[in-house]
Structure 1
Amino acid sequence: MLFIPFPFVVAILLLVLFVTMVRREDEASPNLPFLALILISAFQSLLSGLRWGYGVHGVMYVAPVVAATVPPLAYGGVSRLVRRSRRSWLSRIGLHALPAAVIIVLVAAWRDAIDVALVLIFVGYAAAILFLMRPGADALRLAPFEGAVSAYRAIIFTAVGLLLSAAVDTFVFLDLAWADGERAVTVITFGNLAALLILAVAAAAASRSRTPVETIDIAPKPETAEDKQTIAMVQALMETKHIYRDANLNLERLARKVGIPARQISGAINRATANNVSQYVNEYRIVEACRLLAESEKSVTEIMFDVGFQTKSNFNREFRRVTDMTPLEWRERKAPQS
């Protein structure tokens, strides 16, 4: 009977995920590093299957180089959501190609150092990603507000995936050195593949990124004069221009419309409301959704799109966060009785 290694199954799943992401990608400028990360993860899983499933030793010269491209791609995908311009990552493409170049040199000249070098690369890029995300969800200046929190969580999982891969490589290195690799195959097969799945799924999730019952009070309580002025300007745009209806609204675009630096807007809203900017904007969306649910005959899906949401999962999650109800429960309680 034909033996199909488990890594091949993972590779097929990752290819399906890649095709799905490409087909769903409707932006003018897709997050290419994240898409490449999914494809590279599938290729790396294929190499793992060839090496440990069929004993193809030649892949040992290719697999470390491929592995060294994963952390820079993860960082590049995160950078595309954080930086104002793509040039911020692309301008340093030579620097981000350095890890793969170092591994190529080590493959040719010093193979014993490859595992240590890979661990340092993965840990270093994980730390860099966590450093980029230190402001929380508001760090994602180019991610639509609707999915900013979900994207933030996915990016944290991306960093965790890099750290998990580094931990697996460390364990395998020690196992080969001290126990002749008794557990190496099992750990590589399941540990590294788990890390690849976490990275790929998190990248896919991040790249998509995009009183309580009777009244919903979202009035800010600024603590400084500058905060008060900043939030007043943001609030004016929300209430008069209804810019929250823009499904692609993000912190960078909001800053341009208001004419205030993104960091100033983020800081003012954080201090005044204890929420991040995406939560603040989504609350305006939920307020209008509540009104439409109570006063119109539109379907929940129509209302979801009207107020600026694009997915039911995000809409339902934010609606419940603000009102402690589902949209249908709100409609049943608030709709006028005939």
Structure 2
Amino acid sequence: MIFIPLPFVIALLLLILFVAVIRRDEEAAPNWPFLALILLSALQSTLSGLRWGYGVQAVGVIAPVTAAMVPPLAYAGVSRLVRTSRRPLPARIALHGVPAALILILMAVWRDAIDIALVLVFVGYAAAILLLMRPGADALRLAPFEGAAPAYRAIIFTAAALCLSAVVDTFVFLDLASAHSERALTVISVGNLAVLVILAIAAAAASRSRPPAETVETAPRPETSEDKETIATIDALMDARKLYRDANLNLDRLARKAGIPARQISAAINRAMDKNVSQYVNDYRIGEACRLLSGTGKSVTEVMFEVGFQTKSNFNREFRRVTDMTPVAWRQRKG
């Protein structure tokens, strides 16, 4: 009977996930760092299978370097949804290549410090991702409003997975350093594989650029006269130009059309309405959807596309949030 280590099976599933994401996003600009993260996770799983399934010790030279590339790719993928970097591409590649270069140097001069360095890299990038997400839902300036919540949750899961990997590596390091290292292999095979799967799935979900989750504010601040002017300007754009019908509308694009800084728009809506910008825009969409459902004979799907939604799941979720009922139930109730 042919023995196929679990890491090889997981690597195959991750490759299938990669192909599925490519096909899904073939009509849109792909998030290359997230796609690379999925492929790198498949490679890491394969290396794990070779080392621990077949005893190929040579892969131990490659695995730490590729592992050091995982957090920078996750951060780069998140950055593409948050902001456009002002640094040129070569400078960004050089900056995020520092962890892999550091591991290469340590492999030559101080191998015992590699595990500690990897833990610091994973924790550092996890903290950097959470720092990017500090503004909450509206941090995803380049993600379309129509689909933001899963992307936000996936990014948080990505940061959590990086922290989990750091915990696993720390445990393995301490276990191997002790006199009894019986649990190290189990933790490596189960813990690291679980982290790779979580990272790949989170990357696939975040690359969809779906709407961010709700912003949680510790203490709402009173609105100002500037907030009222900002909201009045945005309301006028929504009413006159029907911007919410644009399925690709995001905070960055809204800010450019209004001539107002994105941070100012986000802060004004958060303070005055106690909601994030994606909810504010989707409120307009659902308002028009209600009018179309009750006043026309258009199908639910036609209404969904006309008001700016692209998927039924997002449309139904936001419709329930605003009206506490489904679109079909609304139409039936309104006659």
Using the size of structure 2 for normalisation, the TM-score is: 0.93
Query: Which range moved further: 134-143 or 87-96?
Result: 87-96
CA gap of 1:229–1:90, structure 2 versus 1, over 3 A, is farther
Q: 1:70 deviation in Å?
A: 0.3
CA gap of 1:244–1:132, structure 2 versus 1, over 3 A, is same
Q: Alpha-carbon deviations, 1:104-132, whole Å to 9, x = none?
A: 11222222111101000000000000001
Q: Alpha-carbon deviations, 1:213-249, whole Å to 9, x = none?
A: xxxxxxxxx8221111100110111111111011110
Question: Which residue pairs with 1:153 in the alignment?
Answer: 153
- CA distance in structure 2 between the aligned counterparts of 1:89 and 1:309, rounded to whole angstroms: 33
Question: Which residue pairs with 2:41 in the alignment?
Answer: 41
Q: Alpha-carbon deviations, 1:293-323, whole Å to 9, x = none?
A: 2222222222211111111221111111111
CA gap of 1:117–1:5, structure 2 versus 1, over 3 A, is same
Q: 1:186 deviation in Å?
A: 1.2
Question: Which residue pairs with 1:105 in the alignment?
Answer: 105
Give the CA RMSD over aligned residues.
1.5
Q: Alpha-carbon deviations, 1:189-219, whole Å to 9, x = none?
A: 1111111111111111111013xxxxxxxxx
CA gap of 1:308–1:43, structure 2 versus 1, over 3 A, is same
Q: Alpha-carbon deviations, 1:141-190, whole Å to 9, x = none?
A: 10001122221111111100100111110111111111442111111111
Gaps of 5+ in 2: 211-221
Mapped contact 1:84–1:252 kept (Cα < 8 A): no
Query: Which range moved further: 30-39 or 89-98?
Result: 89-98
- CA distance in structure 2 between the aligned counterparts of 1:289 and 1:231, rounded to whole angstroms: 22
Determine helix, strand or coil for the equivalent of 1:91.
Answer: helix
- CA distance in structure 1 between the aligned counterparts of 2:61 and 2:185, rounded to whole angstroms: 17
Question: Which residue pairs with 1:215 in the alignment?
Answer: none
CA gap of 1:88–1:134, structure 2 versus 1, over 3 A, is farther
Question: Which residue pairs with 2:269 in the alignment?
Answer: 269
Q: 1:54 deviation in Å?
A: 1.1
Determine helix, strand or coil for the equivalent of 1:3.
Answer: coil
- CA distance in structure 2 between the aligned counterparts of 1:88 and 1:291, rounded to whole angstroms: 47
- CA distance in structure 2 between the aligned counterparts of 1:86 and 1:209, rounded to whole angstroms: 21
User: Structure 2 matches for 1:173-212, cutoff 5 A?
Assistant: 173-210=173-210
Query: Which range moved further: 306-315 or 247-256?
Result: 306-315
- CA distance in structure 1 between the aligned counterparts of 2:206 and 2:272, rounded to whole angstroms: 27
- CA distance in structure 1 between the aligned counterparts of 2:329 and 2:179, rounded to whole angstroms: 60
1:2 partner letter = I
CA gap of 1:205–1:317, structure 2 versus 1, over 3 A, is same
CA gap of 1:241–1:27, structure 2 versus 1, over 3 A, is same
Question: Which residue pairs with 1:67 in the alignment?
Answer: 67
Mapped contact 1:79–1:89 kept (Cα < 8 A): no
Mapped contact 1:71–1:125 kept (Cα < 8 A): yes
CA gap of 1:327–1:201, structure 2 versus 1, over 3 A, is same
Using the size of structure 1 for normalisation, the TM-score is: 0.92
